[in-house]
Each structure stands twice: as C-alpha cells, then as structure tokens.
Chains A and B, each alone.
Chain A
C-alpha cells in the first residue's frame, strides 16, 4: 500500500498474492464449494427429502435444544464471571482467568471423555445414577454437558477484557445515585457490553451447533434420540449415503457462513461505537 514506500518488487508481490490465493483457494474454498455441489448432486428434490427426513429433523431438534441450554448456561456464567473479574480486585483473580480458558486447551474427544469417566456405566457416579434410574451418558444431558464444556470460555472471554477496559466508574456513580444492583446491571452495564455479548453468543452458538468430537463420545449415536446434526452427518456418511450426508452438512455449512457474516457485521458495529470515543480524546 502507498504508505510503505519500500515495498517488494512487482514480481515478488505477484508471487506472494498468487501463492496466497492458490493456497487458500485449494485448501479452504474448494471444500466449502464441494459441500454444496455434493449436496445437490442428486437434485433438489433429493436434497429437500434428505433435510426433511424425520431423523434429520429430530437431529435438528436436539441440536437446537442443546445450543439453547448451552448458551443460556454459559451466558449467565459469562456475566457473573466478567462482573466479578472486571469490577473487583481480589487475590487469585489471574488464576481464575486462566482456569476459565482451560477448556480451550482440551481436545474435543477428551472433553467428552471426562463426562464418561464421571457419569458413564463404570464412572464415578455411574452406579448411583443407574440405581436412581438416571442416565446422563448416551442421553441428552450428556450431550448438553459436553457442549457446555467446549463452549465454556467463549462468552466470558469476550466480556472480560471489554468490562476491564470500561472500569467500574459508571457503576460506582450509579450506586451513589441510589441504584440497586439489578438496576445497575440492566441500565448501566448491559448497554455498554451488548454487542460484545452478542458477538460471544454468535461464536459460542456456531461451536455448540457444530461440535462433533466431544458430543460423539457421550451421545451413543442413538438415532432419533441422541443424534445431533453433525452426528447425523457422520451416520449417513458411514452408510455411504453421501448425498444425504452432504445435504445435512450443507445446513451446517450455511450456519458457518451466516456466523462469519454476523461476526463481520458485529466487528464493524463494535468498531463504529468505539470510534467517537477515540475522537473525543
């Protein structure tokens, strides 16, 4: 760009741009396109039949329920954690911050495994659960727990840095003016963090709906009962029902594309809100 007077010779620039486009095009764009072409390989009516199949619908239902519960749980946690970390200073705050990030370092299969070790037939609580007729592993609660685990840090991680940056002065002023805790949160804090909150929810939602490894370990793949959309894709694929697998996969790919668009729009929005503040300085 113009503000870098000492730039590379033209041949080198062309080579770098060409290499980038070819590499990203082949590695990333090609698979995305192939999802949609494979999905429609047997025609539109086969596509529609595949995605409206009762088993696909029940997988969609479980995916939506799981994402809903997960987001609600992690949203409440994200708000509580960011409130305590950003508005107060207490011993062990940095340790708490690192612990919240912990699930990011745990691979998907292990994220499912930990709950099998606790609640599985031979797990710590396996016996007492089965005595009470409760089932967590190979049932919906296990799917939800594993999904909560893998998306655990998403919302908190968006809120904490923002709230730390904003400080506690506005809330302190509200206290002095006689506002209650709930009023402060509703009227002062929430308006300041709403876009970051939506941003975190969008990212967490994409992961919650698309999670495969962790859910695969705890679900037991019971069709029509504990199958989420990604697991349904796997089953169809392993039955060599490729077109149907890609049809269901195209829904998830669409979700990913919508997520990226929403992410871009929110980033633009958040930047636009920050700009006037910069100009005031």
Chain B
C-alpha cells in the first residue's frame, strides 16, 4: 500500500484530512449520490415521461432559450462595461464598479419582487413598455430580464481582469502599423478578450439554467408558457413525485457540470496555447 501520509513535521494531517473527507461526504457527496441514484435508477419509460413530456419539454426550451438570450445580452454589455471600468476615468466609476456586485449579494427573492414591481404594468419601466405593446412581467421577456440581472457580474468579473492584463505593446504595434483605433479594437483587442468573454458567457449561462428566486416572481409561472425547469422540480416535489423531480434535476445538473467543465478545459487549453505562442 502506498504511503498516504506525507513527510512533514507539521501535525494534524490525519485529523484534518479525516474531518475534511467525512464532512464533505456527509454534506455534499452522499446527498448528490442520492440524487444521481434516484434520478438514474428508474424504468426508462418513467424517466422519459418525466423529462420529455410536453410540459417539461416546453420548460426546457424556455429555460435554455431565455438563459441563452440573457447571456448574449450580458456578453455584449458586459464587455462594454468591463472595458469602460478598466480603461476610462469618469465621475461615478467606483460606484458603477460596486453596483456590478449587487446581484451577487442581493438575495434572489428580493431581486425577484423588485424586478416584478418595476416591470409590471404600473411599474417604473412597465408603464413605458406597456404603450409600446411590450409585456415584460409575466412573460418570457421578464425571465430574460431577471436572468440578465443575475448574470451580469459573471461576465464583467471574468472580462475585467483580461482587460487589465492586455499588453499595451500590441495596441501600440497595431497603431504603428497604421491600424485605425476601430480596427485595433475589432482585430487585435477583441480576439485577445475572447477567451475570457466565452468563459464568462458559459458561466453566466450555466448559472442562469438553475436560477429560481429571481425568476419565479416575474415569470408568472404559466404551464407551457412561462414555467422554468427549476419550478417544475418544485412542482413535482409538491406532488410527491420524487423520481420525476430527481430525473429533471439530474439532467439539469449534468448539463451545468458539462458546461462548467467546458469552461475549465477551455481556460486550461488557452493558457497552454498562449504560453506556447509566447
């Protein structure tokens, strides 16, 4: 048997490793295993029924669709915000920077009811959108708004360090070679920021798939129309359909694990790739 105990004079290896592994197993590993077993060990017909019946399919389409649109909006504006925060000095820059973290810190139920109040027909935004024929609250658009709210910090905080790390020399080289500023932005700077932007996009997207608190107030929760996958899990649980809930949850969990794995592999690949180029 290989020696597990490392050569070290520092005490406490056995105690801390044992405690860490026990606590990790009790709180995280055993519960997640229960979910995997409950979700996967059931007749295929029953699993298919839970995961692909028309109502669940509509929820998948809505969840993935709104998460995708929100993440695209955030990728566009998040890139601009990150660039602005790093490169320009203007009054209120620090406040703008601090506001980006609000969706991380604000409890999702609070964001949920606040967004609903703003975008319902008498709200600060809703009363302007209503005459234009745009129904924001209690529609898929409302879900997109909520997911944009919670997703923005993921993009900004991923892209910001990448903007800070840009080597000024490449911009200077582009300018000396006669490129206009617009060309430099599009052909030199944007490609350099792309890996961070994609990583932020996928992280925000993965997070949006499972979002619950900020969405369920503004969405209206109409079956087939504005019902997200997380809410279906709750509905199944309330009907004591544990297997159905676990089946949907398992599929969701696997998708977000795969997405986050993609981010990690992508980052690993791009750092290696960049190092080789350098």
Question: Are B107 and A252 interface neighbours, CB within 8 A?
Answer: yes
Complex CA gap A9/B109 in Å reads: 42
- Knowing A29-B99, A30-B124, A106-B32, the reply to whether A149 touches B152 (Cβ < 8 A) is no
Output the least CB separation between B17 and chain A (Å).
5
- State in angstroms the CA–CA spacing of A121 and B117 once bound together: 37
| Cβ B181 vs Cβ A6 within 8 A | yes
User: Taking the complex as formed, is A245 at the interface, i.e. its CB lies under 8 A from any CB of chain B?
Assistant: yes
B268 at the interface (CB under 8 A from A): no
CB neighbors of A among B85-119 (8 A): 85, 87-90, 92, 96, 98-103, 105-111, 113-115, 117-118
Partner of A233, one of B16, B113, B149, B237: B113
Do B77 and A23 touch (CB < 8 A)? yes
B-contact bits for A1-30, CB 8 A (1 contact / 0 none): 101111111001100110111011011111
A residues less than 8 Å from B257 (CB atoms): 105
Is A120 interfacial (CB 8 A cutoff)?
yes
Q: Which single member of A115, A175, A217 contacts B31 (CB below 8 Å)?
A: A115
Q: Which of B109, B123, B181 is A212 in contact with, Cβ under 8 Å? A: B109
Question: Are the C-beta atoms of B84 and A17 separated by less than 8 Å?
Answer: yes
How many of A's residues come within 8 Å of B, CB to CB? 100
A148 part of interface (Cβ distance < 8 Å): yes
A19 to B21, CA, bound (A): 48
Any A CB within 8 A of the CB of B256: yes
Do A149 and B27 touch across chains, with their CB atoms under 8 A apart? yes
Query: Does B212 have its Cβ within 8 Å of any Cβ on chain A?
Result: yes
| Complex contact A24–B27 (CB within 8 A) | no
B102 lies within 8 A of A260 (CB):
yes
A21 and B88 within 8 A (CB) = no
Does B11 sit within 8 A of A, measured CB to CB? yes
Given contacts A253-B106, A260-B102, contact A8 B185 (CB under 8 A): yes
Task: Identify the closest chain B residue to A114 (Cβ).
Answer: B31
Residues 194-239 (chain A) with a chain B CB within 8 angstroms: 206, 209-213, 216-217, 230-231, 233-234, 237
- Chain A residue nearest to B232 in the complex (CB): A109
Q: A60 to chain B: closest CB distance in Å?
A: 13
In the complex, A260 Cα to B12 Cα: how many Å? 35
Asked if B245 is at the interface (CB within 8 A of a chain A CB), the reply is: yes
Q: Is B19 an interface residue (CB 8 A)?
A: yes
Does B137 sit within 8 A of A, measured CB to CB? no
In the complex, what distance in Å separates the CA atom of A149 from the CA atom of B35? 14
How far apart are the CA atoms of A121 and B190 in the complex, in Å? Answer: 54
Docked complex Cα distance between A16 and B174 (Å): 21
Q: Which of A102-152 contact B (CB under 8 A)?
A: 102-103, 105-110, 113-118, 120-124, 145, 148-149, 152
- Judging by beta carbons under 8 Å apart, are A108 and B213 in contact? yes
Residue with the greatest number of chain B CB neighbours at <10 A, chosen from A88, A91, A152, A255 = A88
Q: Is the CB of A259 within 8 A of B212?
A: no
* A249-B109 in contact given A26-B125, A84-B20 (Cβ < 8 Å): yes
Q: Does B240 contact A (CB under 8 A)?
A: yes
Asked whether B210 is an interface residue with its Cβ less than 8 Å from the other chain, the reply is yes
Known: A172-B9, A259-B105. 15 other contacts (CB 8 A): A9-B181, A20-B77, A20-B85, A31-B115, A35-B113, A84-B13, A110-B233, A116-B242, A117-B31, A124-B34, A148-B27, A149-B31, A175-B11, A210-B108, A252-B110
What 10 A-B pairs come out closest when comparing CB atoms?
A107-B210, A210-B107, A114-B31, A213-B212, A212-B213, A31-B114, A181-B11, A256-B105, A84-B16, A230-B109
- A sample of 12 cross-chain residue pairs with beta-carbon separation below 8 angstroms, ordered by A number, consists of A27-B152, A28-B149, A31-B111, A35-B114, A77-B20, A91-B2, A107-B209, A109-B212, A116-B242, A117-B35, A117-B242, A168-B10
